[in-house]
Amino acid sequence: MIYLDYAANAPVEAPVLDAFLTAEQTFVGNPNSNHPAGQAALAAMERATESIAALLGAEPNEIIYTSGATEANNLAIKGIAYAKRHTGHHIISTPLEHSSVGGSLTYLQEQGWEIDFLDITRDGTADLQQLRELLRQDTVLAAICAVDSELGTIQPLDKIKAILKDYPNCHLHIDATQAFGRIPVSFAGVDTLSLAPHKFGGLNGSGLLLKRKNLVLEPQLHGGGSTTIYRSGTPAAALAVSIETALRLALQHRAERFEQAVLYNQMLRESLIRYTGVRINSPENSVPQILNLSVQNVRGTVFQRMLAERGGCVSVKSACSAQGTPSGAVFAVSRDRKNALSSWRVSISHRTTEDQLSAFLQIFDDCYRKLTGKEGTI
């Protein structure tokens, strides 16, 4: 098997799993329970939360634990919209967003909110001039990903923050799911920010939402007490410990892993561009861990299936997106529906080896010849 789908899911790092197992077996009490076992679990959770906050440039009371980035995005987007419904019903986003953002916006639109989507320029970034034109006094939210999951494009967040300063009613939500561990991520100037530890060596089923301490959200889950009024549920001390470990490891090794990914990305680009039917969709300013491409006149789902039969693991669009439809992100950049239908994604990590990439390129060549009837390269 050649696993090249790290943007969908990354294997848990051994120290993260060890930390989780140790904490799960050590802290057996409910952190909300008023007895020694509960107090020990609460203390462990508070230590982890303080460390997480320090690592992310936030305060401990700005950390909300969730089941993943999907829940975090839903809580941020719906929570802000409903809390600010007396201020306005206008929201701005982009066609590059994950389905958990798009789905939340569709839901709100059906409830009466007005949603505008920014155009995407040829380099994959949001049209900032259009952002200026669309902003209104009743705009309550801008939801923009730091790095999109299909192309890997890095959005100019500092410029977006500067534009929004003139609109105090408009809150900024950043989905940093594909950014953290790959590029620097800052909570400065942001109202809410979502993370998914399973993208950088953490455990599936855990997530984070950073929320400014003075920002009010409408809770989406109601019930028992937790670490915050904004998200009910029994606090999971072991998951908090595992998240802290994953964050620390990802930050510690980010620079070296980035440089390695640059070399591998260059290797893939130089090899694939030799094929006359291949089009590289990821702009040059994308993160090196994500490379999106299309093979002319071959549906992405068809190419992906043939690669899978030979042990190659890649994705067509985001793993959470509806399959069999054009990639919205690729269409936004290329303006070509056929190209968007033909697109698929390779995503690598520090676990990827040069031998794996060489093996992938060999099976790619075989699939290309069979599906296009062409000789491989120029």
Is residue 299 classed as helix, strand or coil in its secondary structure?
coil
Q: Are residues 201 and 75 in the same domain?
A: yes
Q: How far apart are CA 291 and CA 284, in angstroms?
A: 10
Residue 372 lies in a domain: no
Burial (CB count within 10 angstroms: exposed 0-12, middle 13-18, buried 19+), residue 287: buried
Number of Cβ within a 10 Å radius of residue 71? 20
In SS3 terms, 166-207 reads as CCCCCEEEEECCCCCCCCCCCCCCCCEEEECHHHCCCCCCCE
CATH of the domain at 176: 3.40.640.10
Q: Are residues 212 and 357 in the same domain?
A: no
Q: How far apart are CA 256 and CA 45, in angstroms?
A: 30
Residue 377 lies in a domain: no
Residues contacting 305, CB < 8 A, separation 6+: none
pLDDT of residue 319: 52
Q: Are residues 194 and 281 in the same domain?
A: no
Can you read off the two tokens belonging to residue 241?
């410990």
Q: Are residues 260 and 355 in the same domain?
A: yes
pLDDT of residue 378: 44
Residue 373 lies in a domain: no
pLDDT of residue 349: 97
- Residue that finishes a domain, picked among 249, 275, 308: 249
Q: Are residues 225 and 352 in the same domain?
A: no
DSSP designation for 62:
G
pLDDT of residue 318: 59
Is 320 marked active-site? Answer: yes
pLDDT of residue 83: 97
What b-and-e string marks burial along 188-215, b requiring 16 or more CB atoms within 10 Å of the CB?
Answer: eebbbbbbbbbbbbbbeebbbbbbbeeb
Residue 138 lies in a domain: yes
Q: What is the pTM of this model?
A: 0.94
Q: Are residues 217 and 358 in the same domain?
A: no
Which secondary structure element, helix H or strand E, spans residue 213, and what is its range?
none
CATH of the domain at 333: 3.90.1150.10
Q: Are residues 286 and 358 in the same domain?
A: yes
Q: Which of 145, 313, 320, 367 is catalytic?
A: 320
Q: Are residues 196 and 260 in the same domain?
A: no
pLDDT of residue 102: 96
* Most distant CA atoms of the chain, gap in Å: 71
Can you read off the two tokens belonging to residue 22?
């140790």
Q: Are residues 290 and 186 in the same domain?
A: no
Can you read off the two tokens belonging to residue 148?
């999109």
- Residue that finishes a domain, picked among 216, 249, 282: 249
* Residue-range definition of the domain harbouring residue 302: 2-8+254-367
Cα angle for residues 156, 158, 160 (degrees, 5° grid): 70
Q: How far apart are CA 172 and CA 186, in angstroms?
A: 13
Which residues share a beta bridge with 209? 64, 194
- Residue that finishes a domain, picked among 249, 265, 293: 249
Total domains, the chain: 2
Q: Are residues 297 and 236 in the same domain?
A: no
Weakly modelled stretches of the chain, pLDDT under 70: 318-324, 375-378
Q: Are residues 153 and 258 in the same domain?
A: no
**What does DSSP say about strands 192-195 and 278-280: parallel, antiparallel, or unpaired?**
unpaired
pLDDT of residue 317: 74
Which secondary structure element, helix H or strand E, spans residue 64, and what is its range?
strand 63-66
pLDDT tens per residue across span 180-204: 999 999 999 999 999 999 999 999 9
Q: Are residues 105 and 168 in the same domain?
A: yes
